[in-house]
């Protein structure tokens, strides 16, 4: 039975094993999928051991996406743009092919599931790590009118804005003064994993704002509570994004594209 895994630190909370088990059952694919917590200083060794034991592919979550990019033997265009990999496929010759399905997953959740038209919208992206880098290309490709990126370390936001500037209207701004009343505010930081909201001013939100956290479950609560308290129209966590990016990874591995709506609904119902 083909073996796949998600690698992260921490990773015990991950719903990816449930998602891929549901996809495998739905599509009749024989595979085993597990969660592997790699030491912070031992991702490369953990990944190599997995491949040596016959692993066929994996997903990569925080904090290893940029390391995965450096370890991949070749990458698709989105991963190369982002310099971050969240999906690895082991090819027949044993070489690692890296992909980034985060931006595809985010767009499918925003546009297909939440019915949000991004064309011409003013979008604020909070964070400049691997998760943020993975969604910038697809967001710009969706035709946003303005994309502002802020980060605790300003130089990192400036570097991303410069790298992606050829793709569309993107700029870096100070964390404490990014602008006011955005149409969409996306949180791509890991602050929620520590029970904190990112330090953005409340006036980035307005009554028409859609707030979206790329993480899901309790970790998204601090940001969504901040948005609600500031009067945002709607708030969503990243569970739909997680399922949609997983579906893209499943297709890359198996050549079969699973349906996602029932899986998202089942996970929502399970709490």
**Residues marked as catalytic:** 65
Pairing of strands 55-60, 74-75: unpaired
CA distance 126 to 148: 8
Determine the angle formed by the axes of helices 154-164 and 130-141, rounding to 10 degrees.
Answer: 30
Rounded distance between C-alpha atoms, residue 270 and residue 264, angstroms? 10
- Separation CA 99–CA 80 (nearest Å): 8
Residues contacting 37, CB < 8 A, separation 6+: 7, 8, 9, 10, 11, 12
Determine the straight-line distance between the first and last CA of the chain, rounded to whole angstroms.
30
How far apart are alpha carbons 90 and 94 in whole angstroms?
Answer: 6
38 burial (CB, 10 Å; 0-12 / 13-18 / 19+) is buried
Cα–Cα distance between 67 and 105 in angstroms, integer?
21
Taking alpha carbons only, the member of 13, 37, 41 closest to residue 192 is: 13
In angstroms and rounded to an integer, the radius of gyration of the C-alpha atoms of the chain is: 18
Q: How far apart are CA 180 and CA 232, in angstroms?
A: 12
């Amino acid at each position: 039975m083909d073996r796949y895994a998600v690698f992260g630190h921490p990773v015990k909370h991950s719903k990816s094993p449930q998602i891929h088990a549901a996809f495998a059952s739905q599509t009749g694919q024989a595979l085993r999928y597990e969660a592997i917590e790699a030491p912070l200083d031992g991702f490369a060794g953990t990944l190599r051991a997995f491949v040596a034991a016959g692993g066929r592919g994996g997903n990569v979550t925080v904090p290893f996406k940029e390391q995965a990019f450096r370890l991949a033997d070749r990458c698709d265009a989105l991963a190369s743009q982002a310099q971050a990999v969240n999906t690895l496929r082991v090819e027949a010759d044993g070489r690692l092919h890296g992909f980034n399905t985060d931006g595809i997953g985010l767009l499918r959740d925003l546009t297909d599931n939440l019915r949000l038209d991004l064309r011409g919208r003013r979008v604020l992206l909070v964070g400049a790590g691997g998760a943020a880098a993975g969604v910038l290309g697809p967001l710009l490709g969706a035709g946003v009118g303005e994309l502002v990126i802020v980060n605790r370390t300003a130089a990192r936001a400036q570097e991303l804005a410069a790298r992606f500037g050829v793709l569309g209207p993107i700029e870096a701004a100070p964390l404490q003064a990014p602008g006011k009343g955005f149409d969409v505010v996306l949180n791509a930081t890991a602050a929620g994993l520590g029970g904190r909201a990112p330090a953005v001013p409340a006036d980035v939100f307005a009554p028409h704002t859609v707030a979206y956290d790329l993480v899901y479950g309790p970790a998204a609560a601090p940001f969504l509570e901040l948005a609600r308290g500031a009067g945002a129209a709607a708030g969503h966590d990243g569970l739909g994004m997680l399922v949609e990016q997983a579906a893209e990874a499943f297709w890359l591995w198996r050549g079969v594209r699973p349906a996602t709506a029932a899986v998202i609904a089942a996970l929502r119902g399970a709490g």
